[in-house]
């Protein structure tokens, strides 16, 4: 019997992939910045058109003052309405233990 290891280690190469999967090469970041989503997924669709802000995309109009309208809001009544909504169980979707808070948390988790 030989005292040497039967596995040929000379042919092994070090993985260049951060995922340690040799089929998925690691992206090459530019030297002047960290990696971005564009490095990992370079074939993304062009979405800049979604950021166009014109009067057509503003349903409130040019003269709408958000701060002024928010000041008109009765925050205490809104709080009461939210509490009423969360604690009034419906026959068509019964609240867990009389409160919809757990459902809201689960739905938020699924939406994330």
Q: Which is more confidently placed, 45 or 35?
A: 45
Q: Which is more confidently placed, 8 or 45?
A: 45
Which residues neighbour 99 within 8 Å (Cβ) at sequence distance 6 or greater? Answer: 86, 87
Q: Is 110 a catalytic residue?
A: yes
- Per-residue pLDDT band for 47 (boundaries 50, 70, 90) equals confident
The reported pTM is: 0.46
User: For residue 100, is pLDDT > 80?
Assistant: yes
């Amino acid at each position: 019997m030989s005292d040497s290891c039967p596995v040929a280690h000379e042919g092994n190469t070090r993985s260049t992939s951060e995922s340690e999967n040799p089929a998925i090469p690691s992206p090459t970041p530019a030297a002047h910045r960290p990696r971005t989503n564009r490095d990992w997924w370079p074939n993304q669709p062009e979405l800049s058109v979604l950021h166009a802000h014109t009067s057509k995309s503003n349903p409130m109009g040019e003269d709408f003052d958000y701060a002024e309208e928010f000041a008109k809001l009765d925050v205490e009544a809104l709080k009461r309405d939210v509490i009423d909504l969360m604690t009034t169980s419906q026959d068509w979707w019964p609240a867990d233990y009389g409160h919809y808070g757990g459902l809201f948390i689960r739905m938020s988790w699924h939406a994330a």
